[in-house]
Amino acid sequence: MSSVDLIDFDPLTVPDELGHFGEFGGSYVPETLVTPLAELTAAYREASADPEFQEDLERELREFAGRSTPLYFAKRLTEQLKGAQIYLKREDLLHTGAHKINNVVGQLLLARRMGKTRIIAETGAGQHGVATAAGCARFGLKCVIYMGAEDMRRQALNVYRMRLHGAEVRGVEAGQKTLKDAVNEAMRDWVADSRNTHYVLGSALGAHPYPMMVRDFHRVIGRETRQQILEQAGRLPDEMAACVGGGSNAIGFFFDFLKDESVRLVGVEAGGRRIHPGEHAARFSGGRLGVLQGSKTWLLQNEDGQIEKTHSVSAGLDYAAVGPEHAFYRSLGRIDFSSSSDDECLNAFQLLSRCEGIIPALESSHGLAYAVRRAPEMSPDQILCINLSGRGDKDVQEASRLMDAVENLRKENE
């Protein structure tokens, strides 16, 4: 299929029954997870067609999560960059501080409907863990969060927040002690007790139906953006960009624009220190097709298929695989990909804080760093929308530590 055929292509026809987005996605899992995943798929399809479920979801998103979020014209940032008009979708204003709550609320309502009493989740930056823990407190569900020990160190405040909501946080000491290792432990737990337990996966990743279901729960981001930009600017944006870890905020933001050929869509990965094995997490620069944690997609792996180490200044983008739907739309030429380095991200983090009074998450700062590069290449009558996936309060300590290190290095070199 060429991108021209996209006009007739219905994005809702992927994935197919087995979870394939073209050659990507699917369900590569141990035998013990086949039945739980099939039950989840059936329950999800039934729920999504039930107006009562949709009503509950809308109410929870409004009353608990705080939707809708504003589409914000970043006037001073636009003036500073001297190019396209920049709009920010303010997912940072949601309860618990990021887009993650959209998916959590959806999956918890589904788990409740399925009669599950125990919830497990993995977390990287801690944002998904906090959102899940808060949601479980809201619905009175027992909650266990798996988190890499290295991430627990980087995001100590989020560990405390999860515990405050009554969740049990289990540190994972295996492997690199980050997100991938936490996902492995959560899958192991689910295999052992899938009868009572629902696994709330936090991104558009993993085996079917997760990439589809997580995408659907985040589509509200793009649906609102579309309505808001039409109201505020009277037309669609020329370009939209979002950071891509697993890809949930990006696919939710892009989905309702996939058929609008005039809107360029750009996913921004974590370029880390540089694009060199072990020093970044940009799967589309240096990755290859493979299977990880249930899904066929682009991965950072070595010649032998061993998963490579990853690095990013932001824990939430520090993952070796990308969601299969992104791999699919990239293969069609519908979504383009770029990456921002750690340094560019820290600069964007400071820039937005200073010129708009908004502290962005380090993850979101990758999308902003793209805007810093891109906006000046565009004309002042063009529109660039960035998804501000989360707020940066969780990152201020890590950012100040990193910026002090940069400052000290500068002084030493003087």
Ligand X SMILES: *Cc1c(COP(=O)(O)O)cnc(C)c1O
The CB-of-412 to ligand X minimum distance in angstroms stands at: 33
Nearer to ligand X, 248 or 341 (CB): 248
Contact 167, 144 (CB under 8 A): yes
- Rounded CA-CA distance 360/98 in Å is 10
Asked whether position 201 contacts ligand X by CB under 6 A, the answer is no
Residue 25: closest CA among 318, 251, 237, 257: 251
Whether the CA torsion 50, 207, 112, 94 is positive or negative: it is negative
Using CB under 6 A as the binding rule, whether residue 65 contacts ligand X is answered as: no
Identify which of 179, 382, 380, 139 has the alpha carbon closest to the alpha carbon of residue 281. Answer: 179
For residue 111, which of 60, 168, 184, 178 has the smallest C-alpha distance? 60
User: Counting Cβ atoms within 10 Å, is residue 140 exposed (0-12), middle (13-18) or buried (19+)?
Assistant: exposed
Residue 363 touching ligand X (CB under 6 A): yes
Distance CA 313, CA 141 (A): 33
Specify the residue, 300 or 378, whose C-beta has the smaller distance to ligand X: 300
The single residue of 27, 203, 338, 389 carrying the catalytic annotation is 389
Q: Where is 65: in which H helix or E strand?
A: none
**Residues 280-319 vs ligand X: string with x where CB under 6 A?**
------------------------------------xx--
For residues 83 and 206, which CB has a smaller minimum distance to ligand X in the complex? 206
Q: How far apart are CA 36 and CA 362, in angstroms?
A: 35
**Exactly one of 203, 228, 310, 365 binds ligand X (CB under 6 A); which one?**
203
Q: How far is CA 147 from CA 178, 315, 375, in A?
A: 7, 11, 37
Burial 386-407 (b: 16+ CB within 10 A, else e): bbbbbbbebbeebbeebeeeee
Which of the following is catalytic: 89, 100, 296, 309? 100
Active site residue 363: no
Residue 106's DSSP bridge partners are none
249 binding ligand X? (CB under 6 A):
yes
389 binds ligand X (CB under 6 A): yes
Q: Which is nearer to ligand X, 36 or 206 (CB)?
A: 206
Catalytic residue among 91, 122, 150, 325: 122
d(CA 320, CA 310): 6
Binding mask 82-121 for ligand X (x = CB under 6 A): ----------------x-x---------------------
Q: Which stretch binds ligand X (CB under 6 A): 26-34, 124-132, 183-191, 343-351?
A: 124-132
Whether 261 is a known active-site residue: answer no
Pair 292, 28: CB distance under 8 Å:
no
x/- string (CB under 6 A) for ligand X, residues 343-362?
Answer: ------------------x-
Task: Give the end-to-end CA distance of the chain in Å, rounded to a whole number.
Answer: 56
Q: Are 349 and 360 in contact (CB under 8 A)?
A: yes
Considering only 86, 109, 125, 221, the residue that binds ligand X (CB under 6 A) is 125
Should residue 324 be labelled a site residue for ligand X when binding is judged by CB under 6 A? no
Residue closer to ligand X, measured from CB, 74 or 204? 204
- Which one of 111, 240, 243, 266 is in contact with ligand X (CB under 6 A)? 243
Number of residue whose CB is nearest ligand X:
390
Q: What are 261's two structure tokens?
A: 């050929």
Is 100 among the catalytic positions? Answer: yes
**Under the criterion CB under 6 A, does residue 136 sit at the interface with ligand X?**
no
Q: Which position has the token pair 């201020």?
A: 396
The residue count for binding ligand X (CB under 6 A) is 21
- Decide if residue 183 touches ligand X (CB under 6 A): no
- Shortest distance in whole angstroms from residue 72 CB to ligand X: 16
In angstroms, what is the C-alpha Rg of the chain?
Answer: 20
Binding site for ligand X (CB under 6 A): 98, 100, 125, 127-128, 203, 243-250, 316-317, 361, 363-364, 389-390
Active site residues: 100, 122, 389
